[in-house]
Amino acid sequence: MFYEENILYLCCPKYKCQILDTIDRYIIDLKALHDDNAHFEYNVNDDFFAMLDTSEFQKGVAHVSVDVKKLADSFDINFQINGQVVVICDRCLDEMNQEVSSTNRLRVKFGSEYTDAGDDVVIVPEDEGSINVAWFIYEFIALAIPIRHVHAEGDCNPEMMQKLKSHLSYDVVEDNDSSDDLAASERPMDPRWNDLKNLLDNN
């Protein structure tokens, strides 16, 4: 689920660079926790997404609530995320605001080096004892975006919708043979436009 390269980039000292100066507020020092439970609040915006320099989306706002529970041999980190991101409408290709809501859990254990152990388990070096949750926040938001995202009915770009509808009309067959005199309404629609037609029909 998580990219090991990004875990190293955000957390490992040997990968420190200028970007860490701007995301260090997302570091949770697990060793420094005095209580068995801790709570953190983050408000992310366009700067957060641009900072991570991802291609999927770079605009949005979200409130992130993080609860950390200290266990005998690990830490449970629970994320509650609510907000919206800017994505491209599948129907008209204009930008649109997509609501996102996500509840996720991450278990962190101490070890010798950073490792994505799978099943939402991450190993962090015990001698450092901290984790930067910035990339995990992004991943959870990305996973909360529906596979299909379209504007609400009537909100799509009207010019683009008109162009789509014109392409979805029945094909005009150029044929000088007078024996082929099918009415336009009887001509089959190009099957390549079926998916687009389904999008329009669901508007």
Q: Given pLDDT bands bounded at 50, 70 and 90, which one contains residue 200?
A: low
- Cα 62 → chain centroid: 12
For the purposes of burial, counting CB atoms within 10 Å of the CB of 147, is it exposed (0-12), middle (13-18) or buried (19 or more)? exposed
188: which residues sit within 8 A by CB, 6+ positions away?
A: 170, 171
Q: What integer pLDDT is reported at residue 68 of this predicted model?
A: 97
CB 84 within 8 A of CB 98: yes
Q: What tokens were used for 8?
A: 């190293």
- Of residues 191 and 47, more confidently modeled: 47
User: Could you give the C-alpha distances from 157 to 94, 110, 132, 150, in angstroms and in order?
Assistant: 7, 51, 40, 11
Measured CA angle at 159 (ends 157, 161), to 5 deg: 70
The tens digit of pLDDT for each residue in 37-80 reads 999 999 999 989 888 877 778 899 999 999 999 998 899 999 99
Q: What integer pLDDT is reported at residue 96 of this predicted model?
A: 92
The tens digit of pLDDT for each residue in 108-137 reads 999 988 888 777 899 999 999 999 999 999
Helix axis angle for 4-11 and 134-144, nearest 10°, is: 140
Strand pairing of 121-125 and 95-111?
parallel
| pLDDT of 18 over the 70 cut | no
CB 28 within 8 A of CB 40: yes
Q: What integer pLDDT is reported at residue 10 of this predicted model?
A: 46
Q: Provide the β-strand partners of residue 42.
A: 64
Q: What integer pLDDT is reported at residue 196 of this predicted model?
A: 56
Q: Which amino acid is at 79?
A: F
72: which residues sit within 8 A by CB, 6+ positions away?
A: none
The tens digit of pLDDT for each residue in 154-168 reads 888 788 777 777 766
User: What is the C-alpha separation between 30 and 131, in angstroms, rounded?
Assistant: 7
User: What is the C-alpha separation between 112 and 102, in angstroms, rounded?
Assistant: 31
Query: Is the entire prediction scored with pTM above 0.85?
Result: no
| pLDDT of 14 over the 50 cut | no
Q: Given pLDDT bands bounded at 50, 70 and 90, which one contains residue 199?
A: low
